Amino acid sequence: MPQLHTSGPRAAAVTPTDRVRLAEVALEAALKVDGVVAPHAPIGGGGSTRGSGRRLDGVSVVAGGHERFDVSLHLVTRIVPLHPLADRVRERVSRAARRSGLGDRLGPVDVRIEDLAEPPVSAGMLEAGP
């Protein structure tokens, strides 16, 4: 589930803009792709979308011209082939945007792998040593 922050007493009553809705749809779709572990919440909020009193970490959506929005996803992934993973994320985001009625608002989707999740170390690996 995307990490959504609301602030102020009126935040829950505010209808999100297409930009914020697209951020929600894109991040939710990306997180469903096998290999994606979590959104990356950069220090300073550079990879966040803000609007309607809310902040959504891990996705940046900006006006791209021709009434479309450019989407940048900032993700933490498992150690897998990254180019095919990014292609799967783009395809999933595109399908989700179309299903939600925002397909005509979606511009280019940039997938940034900000960090890799290390696999857990098993007890057997620790005992074996170098």
- On whether the 4-128 domain is CATH 3.30.870.10, my answer is no
Whether the per-residue pLDDT at 3 is higher than 60: the answer is no
Give 69-91 pLDDT, tens digit per residue.
999 999 999 999 999 999 999 99
Give 91-113 pLDDT, tens digit per residue.
999 999 999 999 999 999 999 99
21-37: average pLDDT: 97
11: Cβ–Cβ under 8 A, 6 or more apart, which residues? 52, 53, 54
Domain ranges in the chain are 4-128
> For position 91, what pLDDT does the model report?
99
C-alpha angle 28-21-16 in degrees, rounded to nearest 5: 135
Query: Residue 78, Cα to own-chain centre: how many angstroms?
Result: 15
124: left (phi over 0), alpha (psi -120 to 50) or beta: alpha
| 3-class secondary structure, 12 | helix
